[in-house]
Amino acid sequence: MSVTPPAAPSGDRASGHPPSGDVQVLELPSYDTDRVWTLPNILSFLRLIGVPLFVWLILGPHDDIVAVVVLAVAGFTDWLDGHLARAWHQTSRIGQMLDPVADRLYIGAIVVSLAVLDLIPWWLVGLLLARELVLLAVVPALRTRGYTSLPVHFIGKAATFCLLYAFPAVLLGAGSWPGAMAFKVVGWAFAIWGTGLYWWACLLYLRQTYHLLQTPRAPRSVVLRAPRRG
Q: Flag whether 163 is in a domain.
A: yes
- Residue-level pLDDT at 32: 60
Report the alpha-carbon distance of residue 82 to residue 97 in Å, rounded: 12
Q: Flag whether 175 is in a domain.
A: yes
C-alpha atoms less than 13 angstroms from C-alpha of 116 in its C-beta half-sphere: 12
Domain range for 141 is 24-225
Q: Flag whether 151 is in a domain.
A: yes
- Residue-level pLDDT at 37: 83
- Residue-level pLDDT at 30: 53
Q: Is 149 helix (H, G, I), strand (E, B) or coil?
A: coil
CA angle 18/21/26 to nearest 5° reads 50
> Rounded to the nearest 10 degrees, how much is the dihedral formed by the CA atoms of 203, 209, 214, 219?
180
Q: Please name which of 225, 228, 170 lies closest in space to residue 194, comparing C-alpha atoms.
A: 170
Q: Flag whether 12 is in a domain.
A: no
Per-run averaged pLDDT (10 residues), the chain, 230 residues: 44 42 42 73 89 92 89 86 82 78 88 93 95 90 78 85 90 87 94 96 92 70 40
- Residue-level pLDDT at 217: 66
> Rounded to the nearest 10 degrees, how much is the dihedral formed by the CA atoms of 135, 140, 143, 149?
10
Q: Flag whether 230 is in a domain.
A: no
Give the domain CATH number at 117.
1.20.120.1760
Q: Flag whether 38 is in a domain.
A: yes
Domains in the chain: how many in total?
1
Q: Flag whether 13 is in a domain.
A: no
